[in-house]
Amino acid sequence: MDDITPGDGEEPAATVSGGWPPGAIPGDGAWPEEYADVEPQSAPRTVADVTPAPGSDVPGSAALSPDGRTLVVTDGTKRLAVWDVTDPAKARVTQTTDIPAGGGGASLSEDGDVVRSGRLGWRLTGPGKAEAVGELPLPKGAESMDVPVEGSWGALAVTSGPKRFTTWYVRAGMEPAALGTDAFPEVPHAFALPPGRLVLGYTGLLVRDVSHVVRTAADPKAAACAATGGGLTRTELEARAPGATWHRACP
């Protein structure tokens, strides 16, 4: 894609539409089994509408818990609703909350316990139940952000300007770190491909791979040992700091 310009000093992100063979990405429709007819078990039923609210051009979003019993919906009106869908025929809203500035699309953490709307978060405590958890830091100058993926290691977030996306590493208690900026000819979206990869774009897609950041954040000691070749040996320490007590730093 010639019209995508990586951020200054950044390695170009891999282009999905520029050389990847069909079927390289699960769900792209290229595998024969993805065309198999599926017999519906029951008639579809609408339980929530995420189309933009009247007067708003902000679409809503939804996230379903791994057990399929809780649905969290944002509807573009700065309101988040928690649904109990244990019985889809009797789906009901159990709680709602206003989303102040800094909110974004709904997403679930890797373990399925926390739902995020931008920097704001709620822990799912049961079918249709959620309680607020700590906020993630918002990048300086940004009014809002989306969090495509979050884990015990932190989270990957994106902020957007006119046809541009900046990817961030965010974690409570530290300043967000920019991981790269990409330009697009249209308004982009972001989707997570764990671990540590984001699909960015709209009609044209690219992949930004920041898995090295995720691995480092998940196990900083292992990353430091790998970067230093296992740390100083006893001989190397004695040469640099005679008399210092040596301890094995890496396995």
**How many domains is the chain built from?**
2
Interval 140-168 mean pLDDT: 88
pLDDT number for residue 177: 95
DSSP conformational letter for 33: G
pLDDT digits (tens, 9 = 90+) for 113-149: 888 888 888 888 877 788 888 889 999 888 888 898 8
* Cα–Cα distances in angstroms (integers) from residue 31 to residues 19, 197, 199, 203, 209, in the given order: 17, 22, 19, 21, 24
Is pLDDT at 187 greater than 80 in this prediction?
no
30 and 58 part of one domain: yes
pLDDT digits (tens, 9 = 90+) for 87-96: 888 888 888 8
Q: Could you tell me the residue range of the domain that residue 70 belongs to?
A: 14-36+43-210
50 and 81 part of one domain: yes
Confirm whether 140 is domain-assigned: yes
Confirm whether 233 is domain-assigned: yes
149 and 97 part of one domain: yes
Confirm whether 6 is domain-assigned: no
Is pLDDT at 2 greater than 50 in this prediction?
no
Is pLDDT at 178 greater than 90 in this prediction?
yes
134 and 206 part of one domain: yes
- C-alpha 147/C-alpha 138 separation (Å) is 11
DSSP line for 99-113 = --TT---EEE-TTSS
Whether the model pTM is above 0.75: no
Of 227 and 8, which is predicted with more confidence? 227
